[in-house]
Structure 1
Amino acid sequence: MRVGLFVTCLVDAMRPGIGFAAIRLLEAAGCEVVVPKNQTCCGQPAYNSGEREATKALALKFLGEFEGCDYVVAPSGSCAGMIRVHYPELFRDDPAVLARISPLSQRTYELTDFLVNIARLEEVPGRFQGTLTYHDSCSGLRELGVQIQPRTLLAKMPGVTLKEMVESTTCCGFGGMFSVKFGDLSTRMADNKCGHIEAAGTDAIVGGDLGCLLNIEGRLRRRGNHMTKVLHIAEVLAGPEGEA
């Protein structure tokens, strides 16, 4: 099974270790992983800003880079949702492109969804000792139905105790352009989320979208919380690089 890893621009720029962790997980599932070196952005920021032509250009670039893969996997429900749900919408009036991009969109998965429902990963390579709580990111949850999948994988880790926070499915306030346009409201939402995280009393908050995690981590630290770790699900499931 030839799987193209869409690293996402945020992971590449801010925490590339998530991409390497995703590779280790996909390889543990028996996949041949390819990472097109010229990949960039899925186009979501442009799409959310109303820049449809710029979004189409990035979608066509993505199509050219990943069309030959059996599947495409992204360590982000937000980016996977953009590709799977919104790419076909962009080209609904262009039958030639739509005939190519719709099948690729349907072969695109968020990482944990792919590992559970397509690759059927039975054993995760990482080891983690401690308590976690999980934040369900909006796009992954509402566009792709990602909720049970990360918890299913965490349950395969004997050292992990998962404690559900209050309102785990409520937005953290990031929302890409939302946090820029509505800063005060975004901050209040982030404060609410951080309060729920702290009330859960866990060693770490885990999620599947780096944008949400950066937003949460920034707010936690500004509130004076320097103890709670903020981890991507791939980092927990794969463990540190080189870990047996």
Structure 2
Amino acid sequence: MKVSLFITCLADMMYPEVGESVVRLLHKYGCEVDFPELQTCCGQPAFNSGYQDEARVVARQWISAFEHSDYVVSPSGSCTGMIHHYYPDLFRDEPEWKAKAEAIIAKTYEFSQFLVKVLGVTDVGASFAGKVTYHPSCHAMRLLGIRSEPGQLMEHVRGMELVDLPHCEDCCGFGGTFAVKMADMSEAMVCEKAKNVLATGAEVLVGTDMGCLMNIDGRLNKEGKPVRVMHLAQLLEQGGTAR
């Protein structure tokens, strides 16, 4: 099975180790993984800010980079959600590009979704010694309908204590440009999220979107709280002991 990695801007620039974990896991299950060098931002920041013409330019480049891929897999529900839900609208007046967008949507998956739904994998043989809680990102849940897949993967991690996060479906306050435009509201939301994370007593917070994890991690660090954050792919691929 041939898979193209869509790394996303945030992972590429700040968390490349997440992409490395995704690739190693895909290799483990026999996937041949490539990295289209023409890939760019999916266009979400421009789209969310109302710059649709600029977003279309970026989206055309993204489609061109991946249109020949068999599957596209990303460690981000947010960017994958942008492609699935907003590309058809973005190209509603351009039939050729709308058709290309719809074709690529059918083969584009968020990481946990691909493992469970396409590869049929729920137990990767991982082990992890520590107490962990999980934050589900808004876009993965609400745009892609990802609810059970991360839990199915985590429940098979040996030696790990998984504890429920209170009010887990509440937004962390990041939301990309929302955190910039509505800074006070965003801060209030992430403070609430951090409080709920700390209430679990978990040593590690796991998620599927580095934007959310970066935001929550920033708040926890500001409060001096020693909670480690990890992308789900890192948890499944690295294992080891919480630190």
The TM-score with structure 2 as length reference comes to: 0.95
| Aligned partner letter, 2:165 | M
Aligned to 1:158: 158
Query: Contact 1:8/1:74 (CA < 8 Å) preserved in 2?
Result: yes
Q: 1:59 to 1:125 in 2, by over 3 A?
A: farther
Q: Measure the CA separation in 1 of the matches of 2:89 and 2:83.
A: 10
Identity within the alignment, %: 44
Aligned to 1:228: 227
Q: Measure the CA separation in 2 of the matches of 1:204 and 1:240.
A: 12
Name the SS of the counterpart of 2:7 in structure 1. Answer: coil
Query: Contact 2:73/2:111 (CA < 8 Å) preserved in 1?
Result: yes
| Aligned partner letter, 1:62 | W
| Aligned partner letter, 1:236 | L
Question: Superposed, which structure 2 residues align to 1:139-218 within 5 Å?
Answer: 139-218=139-218
Name the SS of the counterpart of 1:33 in structure 2. Answer: strand
Name the SS of the counterpart of 1:131 in structure 2. Answer: strand
Q: Measure the CA separation in 1 of the matches of 2:155 and 2:30.
A: 20
Unaligned ranges ≥5, structure 2: none
Displacement of 1:203:
1.2
Displacement of 1:125:
5.2
Name the SS of the counterpart of 1:165 in structure 2. Answer: coil
Aligned to 2:11: 11
Unaligned ranges ≥5, structure 1: none
Query: Contact 1:25/1:125 (CA < 8 Å) preserved in 2?
Result: no
Query: Contact 1:123/1:156 (CA < 8 Å) preserved in 2?
Result: yes
Q: Measure the CA separation in 2 of the matches of 1:38 and 1:63.
A: 10
Let me know the Cα RMSD of the aligned residues: 1.4
Segments of 4+ moved more than 3 angstroms = none
Name the SS of the counterpart of 1:159 in structure 2. Answer: strand
The TM-score with structure 1 as length reference comes to: 0.95
What is the count of residue pairs matched by the alignment? 240
Query: Contact 1:125/1:238 (CA < 8 Å) preserved in 2?
Result: no
Q: Measure the CA separation in 1 of the matches of 2:171 and 2:123.
A: 30
Q: Measure the CA separation in 2 of the matches of 1:142 and 1:42.
A: 18
